[in-house]
Amino acid sequence: MLRELEETIRVSTKKLDNLANTVGEMIIDQTKFEVYLQSLNEVVIMAKEQRKRFIDMNERIKTVLNDPQNVLSEELPSLMDKHADSSTRLVEKLLQVFGQQQDSASTLANTTDKLQSDIMTLRMLPVSTVFDMFPRTVHDLAKEYQKKIDLEIHGSETEVDKKVLELIKDPLMHLLRNAADHGIEPPRERTGKGKNETGKIILSAWQEGDRIFIRVEDDGKGIDPAAIKEIAVKKGMLDPDDAERMTDEEARHFIFKSGFSTSRIITDVSGRGVGEDVVRKNVEDNLGGQVQLKSAVNTGTSFTLVLPLTLAVTPSVFVKVAGQLFALPAASVLFGLRINPGEIQSVEGKEAITVINSIVPLARMDEVLRKPAAGDDSTNQRSKSSRIGDKLHVVVVEYAHQKIAFQVDELVKEQNIIVKPMEKPLQKVKNIAGVTILEKGEVVPILHVPELMESAKQTSAERKISTSPAEKISKKTQRILIVEDSLTTRELEKSILTSVGYDVDTAVNGVDALNKIFERIPDLIITDVQMPEMDGFQLTKKLRTDTKYQEIPVVMVTALAKDEEKRRGIEAGADAYITKTDFDQANLVETIERLIG
């Protein structure tokens, strides 16, 4: 018996996206319908109250009319009875219409949910679509780094929205590369630690409710928080006192800072300090998800991406701040509370509250968003709109295992929203991830939780500093020497660095550079490799053998892109290696800031 063939049709992703957007608009219409129902219900209640008052008034009037001395018209009682009957019929009709509309709303909600579910099914693909390309990637990386690595894949049948799959491919590639490069140790080092000489990377996926979890874990050397602090302090990215107070967990999350890297050499695979930052930015900004990190020295590291099942609809919590509505992704909101002002504590000079036996920092949302409190001219007074009696509204938000409580004017409601991206001129507005449009056409900003928490910490630090005299330290202009035989490249690099405030000098080759360095020691050197008289490799080696110059950071910017040439750069003593094919202004400036702050 021949198996019946299933009929199929190819549909473009764009058409599915359009259909998904239509469903999103239907959900907004459904919300509008629910608002209309609420209004209709209020009319029913008003009609009931009117009918009750009229019946009471009718009985009183009848009592008066029964008085034998009353001279009012005998027609009045009959008119009152008719009006009472009319009022009763009005209430009955309103109740009937309300019931019908309530049934229609329920049917519409079910239909919308089913349509949304059907569309989601059309867009769902197994994660194997992306996972299947990684065994080859890991095999090639192991060969390149002369390591032995096994890749295990679990949950490849887990289905995810096609758009989500497209956006996680690059972050997963970064995580696998970093696991192979930084995580898994060379075979001899592993056996010396009592481990199997073959390292293991596990890539797994699973679904919990409306969330997809994808984890990349390795059994390598782990992330050493002490090393992270040391590197961050050395690069000027962290104050020594702050490093001392920082917990191990906070230190490990420092790897997500833009430009941070534990690698001594900057290459196209790792060390440029953009790997984990790219992961975080993609997951947070493009997907509204979270990145969770766990690590133990000599045990291993795991990165877990917490992703929405769909990008079409986002459950959100609405709050009012300084008289304006804002939306917070519900996945990041732990609690909504009302507290007494007396419950606020002072911990190390900063405000905090106790939530389930844990001390949680407290920040004012209006201060964090740089908005004046509604009806309040003083930043030290709490706005009246934040109170119910003596209570303050607080929303507790969590990201990357860190919690902050935000005081807001009001906790308004929970609602599913359709996320609209910001237009180009506004895409970089701090603390804002996008907008949504409510049923009455109101545009509401959606808060970017990770940025919001960083802003809260910064605001807290500014407030603490402002309470005591601060010593202002003027930063000297830093000098950079560019060593490049090409006039065009030399002037381009000089123009870029001068425009951002550096004092720039130039040299045409290694010999010319040594003469310039002898006259005045620069803070950093950018050098080409292929130059006459003395090339970049020779120049760097000579600097590293002289105690007077060996600490000067050297950045190689060259057309030489082969692995053996990059290794020569490492051996010569370069701090960064940027190929000209990957060169751009932001990359160069970011690298310099990493090396000399």
**Residue pair 402/363 in contact by the 8 Å Cβ criterion:** no
What does the alpha-carbon distance between residue 244 and residue 265 come to, in Å, rounded to a whole number?
26
CA distance 512 to 441: 66
Q: What is the pLDDT of residues 377-436, one digit of tens each?
A: 434 444 444 444 568 999 999 887 788 999 999 999 888 787 776 554 445 567 887 778
Per-residue confidence (pLDDT) for residue 132, from 0 to 100: 93
Encode pLDDT of 80-115 as tens digits: 676 677 677 777 777 777 776 776 667 677 666 677
Listed in sequence order, the residues at least 6 apart from 68 whose beta carbon sits closer than 8 Å to its beta carbon are none
Strand ranges inside 420-466, DSSP E: 432-437, 443-447
Which residue type occupies 144? E
pLDDT band at residue 69 using 50, 70 and 90 as cut-offs: low
Integer Rg of the chain from CA:
33
* DSSP structural state of residue 579: E
Residue located via tokens 């050297």: 554
CA atoms within a 13 Å half-sphere pointing along the CA-CB vector of 579: 12
Amino acid code (one letter) for 12: S
pLDDT, tens digit, 9 for 90 and up, residues 123-152: 788 999 999 999 999 999 999 889 999 999
State the Cα torsion 452-453-458-463 to the nearest 10°: 100
> Is the CB of residue 325 less than 8 Å from the CB of residue 338?
no
Dihedral of the alpha carbons of 22, 27, 29, 33, in degrees to the nearest 10: 160
Tell me the three state secondary structure of residue 316: strand
pTM of the complete model? 0.53
Report strand pairing: 314-321 vs 410-417. Answer: antiparallel
CA dist 73 and 57 (Å) reads 17
Each residue's pLDDT tens digit, 349-391 = 788 898 887 889 999 998 888 765 544 443 444 444 444 456 8
CA distance 286 to 422: 12
**What does the alpha-carbon distance between residue 418 and residue 429 come to, in Å, rounded to a whole number?**
19
Residue with tokens 């289905």: 159
C-beta of residue 152 within 8 angstroms of C-beta of residue 176: no
Work out the average pLDDT over 167-190. Answer: 91
Q: Assign 292 to helix, strand or coil.
A: strand
Residue 271's H or E segment, with its range, is: none
> Reduced to 3 states, what is the DSSP secondary structure of residue 578?
strand
End-to-end CA gap in the chain: 74
Contact call for residues 379 and 385 (beta carbons, < 8 A): no
